[in-house]
Structure 1
């Protein structure tokens, strides 16, 4: 190989390597033991406590625990979640691309439906607040923005959720499954914003092992 061709080949190889590295931004692992620190977190409509995991207390209306100073666009959000097997009182998940306490997208779970053969198709849900809540989406687009969870978790136990966001596509995996439980295209035009732990009306929830892996854009 001639010297010029060798130099060109090395330059191309380095370019590919650096390009691949640049696509993956630094992984963020928030310190959940600091959830009561108002400098790092902002709670909305929920009492927050930490005892090895984050607990968001039940209260009417939706609740958020917003991670400050992190702007998320595309990438992966992973965490462990636990709800309860109580119909209508266990809605637990993650909000992202948030602007304020009423404007965000979210993926959440209904553990009480996991093992219910008549309602398991309503186990994982996407919403885009404030305009597109679950009721509107279910009535106007039945079966499009919610689905059953595979494999089926124990509704009283921890389960692992992985949410891949590549705007507008969102894929939701549970317990490291090879296939997603839910695949949707986001309704909102927001392409970035804050990330938050989320619980629904009259719900409490437990969260741990939050990890955010952004993709550089």
Structure 2
């Protein structure tokens, strides 16, 4: 092989190695277009909300929550960062708290509604951020796992273990959300906190690489901006 041919071969090999490593690189989504999302039983549009370009997603049903899948996004272990603001829909009944958050490690199943048989998720209850009583204030951040471990079952069986208080969460106010995931453990951060407000050491699903996206709960709407997914 001539020196020129050797150089060409090395260049091609380097390019191939680079492409192989793509899946482990940071995935950044400015969320300035709906093209990055697959909405499941939800409405969506792009708008500027309180200084940030964001996707606005609404759930107008009275069920446990609907999904917006981020096209091409997936993760087993790593960190998810996103800016989020949420509120109850106009006219929503008392008890609807502007539920919105992030799901991850979804398991594909085309035979079920939404295309996923299970997923893990963390979310915020925006109106509980205003609560004066300690019990309600302790419900601001919630972990749950679809379909076997909804929030009400987790609260009934293990009160206070899978939810927590977080300062700075309010209705229709931007909040930075960060989730650090490693195998069966997840740490949840809100705002600029250095220590997590909630640590879950027993995520309910088997760890697996899976799709990532946004979750919006009963009769709520939310804005999402600046999504960054960093694999471990």
Q: Measure, in 1, the Cα distance between the counterparts of 2:100 and 2:117.
A: 16
Q: Show the counterpart of 2:230.
A: 213
Q: Show the counterpart of 1:44.
A: 40
Q: Show the counterpart of 1:67.
A: 70
- Write the mapping of 1:181-200 to structure 2, written as runs, cut at 5 A: 181-185=197-201, 186-200=203-217
TM-score normalised by the chain length of structure 1: 0.81
Are 2:147 and 1:139 equivalent residues in the alignment? no
Q: Show the counterpart of 1:53.
A: 54
- The one of 160, 165, 176 aligned to 2:176: 160
Are 2:25 and 1:26 equivalent residues in the alignment? yes
Q: Measure, in 2, the Cα distance between the counterparts of 1:82 and 1:109.
A: 9
TM-score normalised by the chain length of structure 2: 0.76
8 Å Cα contact 2:189-2:197 kept in structure 1: yes
Q: Show the counterpart of 2:103.
A: 95
- Write the mapping of 1:70-149 to structure 2, written as runs, cut at 5 A: 70-84=73-87, 87-99=95-107, 100-118=115-133, 119-149=136-166
**1:142, distance to aligned residue in structure 2 (A):** 0.7
Q: Measure, in 2, the Cα distance between the counterparts of 1:105 and 1:192.
A: 12
Task: In structure 1, list runs of 5 or more residues that go unmatched.
Answer: 1-21
**1:152, distance to aligned residue in structure 2 (A):** 3.0
Q: Measure, in 2, the Cα distance between the counterparts of 1:154 and 1:129.
A: 25
SS in 2 for 1:165: strand
Q: Measure, in 2, the Cα distance between the counterparts of 1:187 and 1:177.
A: 25
Q: Which one has a larger percent strand, Structure 1 or Structure 2? A: 2
Are 2:186 and 1:170 equivalent residues in the alignment? yes
8 Å Cα contact 1:114-1:153 kept in structure 2: yes
- Write the mapping of 1:2-13 to structure 2, written as runs, cut at 5 A: none
**1:176, distance to aligned residue in structure 2 (A):** 1.6
CA RMSD in angstroms comes to 1.9
8 Å Cα contact 2:54-2:223 kept in structure 1: yes
8 Å Cα contact 1:83-1:205 kept in structure 2: yes
Q: Measure, in 2, the Cα distance between the counterparts of 1:110 and 1:88.
A: 8
